[in-house]
Amino acid sequence: MGSSTANISRRLYEERKRFVQTVLQMGVPLVDADYNDAQESFYTQIRRSVQAALGDGALGDAFKVVELRRGGALVPNGFALKGGFHPRTGPERLWVAGHGAALFEDVEWLSSPEVSPVSTGLTECELFDSAAFYEPDALVGRTLVPDVAHPDRTYEIVGNTRNSIKVAETNHLVGDGARAGAHYRVALTTPAADRVDIVYVDAYLDEIDGREDPDLLHTFSTKIEAMRRLRLVQAVFVAEGTAPPLPPHPADPLVDADGIEHFILPIAEIRREAGNPHIEARM
């Protein structure tokens, strides 16, 4: 979560050098830099091959935006994303710059940790996300859900920067049970005028340690951490009446506050109607 804190000697991999394989020599110790270089080289070559062969997009219905209903009624300012699992081919996948975003089942946009961002810090009145690209003060007046596991705990946003969201100082996010590292969401608004919203996926690799995933602690000693993992984050956002965040050059990735590369892929346009809180298939 956030910046890399893995204890490594150095990072060797450089795509420009065109190294494609490591060669282990007799009598030479295998160190972390060699192993990590081999892993990064392999993943990058696979990712580049997918980019060249498939490009961006899904072969099936992965991440397709659909209506969200409960008890037959549309959920205000909500929608779902299609997923699924096939025994022979695995989960439904959406390819984003060669990264395979996956949904094993249909999910709700507002409340699913599979597609929501993660906070990297929290005070009583401010949530921090070093991976975010919010337009300063663009979220004022909207509603913050600091933990999607508790969608009923909401707070009005009074300000924001690129990487933080602030609520009134009279609130107590931590005291109310919110925590750093939880999946959060900024809820959608009912449009005052006709509006075109763009749904997009933000894909990037995030380092996961034993604190975030206890399975990465060795069973013979919970004090010894296993090798850390890079997880593909597949956060889905909605740009209300505006464009998604874009890099300075279309071919470049976005780079967040921690120096991590992000890849943005628009997946749907929703033509919202003035005063209508519902998102319908016809939109």
pLDDT at 53: 95
How many Cα atoms within 13 Å fall on the side-chain side of residue 215? 3
pLDDT at 244: 92
pLDDT per position in the chain (283 positions), as tens? 667 888 889 999 999 999 999 999 999 999 999 999 999 999 999 999 999 999 999 989 999 999 999 999 999 999 999 999 999 989 999 999 999 999 999 999 999 999 999 999 999 999 999 999 999 999 999 999 999 999 999 999 999 999 999 999 999 999 999 999 999 999 999 999 999 999 999 999 999 988 888 888 887 766 778 889 999 999 999 999 999 998 877 777 899 999 999 999 999 999 999 999 999 999 8
pTM of the model: 0.93
How many other CB atoms are found less than 10 A from the CB of residue 147? Answer: 22
List residues bridging with 231 in a β-sheet: 206
pLDDT at 29: 92
For residues 207 and 232, give the distance between their C-alpha atoms in angstroms, rounded to a whole number: 9
CA angle 234, 186, 153 (to 5 degrees): 115
pLDDT at 226: 84
pLDDT at 154: 96
pLDDT at 222: 61
- CA-CA distances (angstroms) from residue 239 to 140, 142, 244? 14, 13, 6
Those residues with Cβ within 8 angstroms of residue 221's Cβ, 6 or more apart along the chain or in another chain: none
pLDDT at 214: 86
For residues 26 and 24, give the distance between their C-alpha atoms in angstroms, rounded to a whole number: 7
Question: Residue 201: what residue type?
Answer: V
List residues bridging with 144 in a β-sheet: 155, 186
The owner of tokens 């081919």 is: 89
Q: How far apart are the first and last CA of the chain?
A: 35
pLDDT at 43: 96
Nearest CA among 146, 226, 231, 223 for reference residue 181: 146
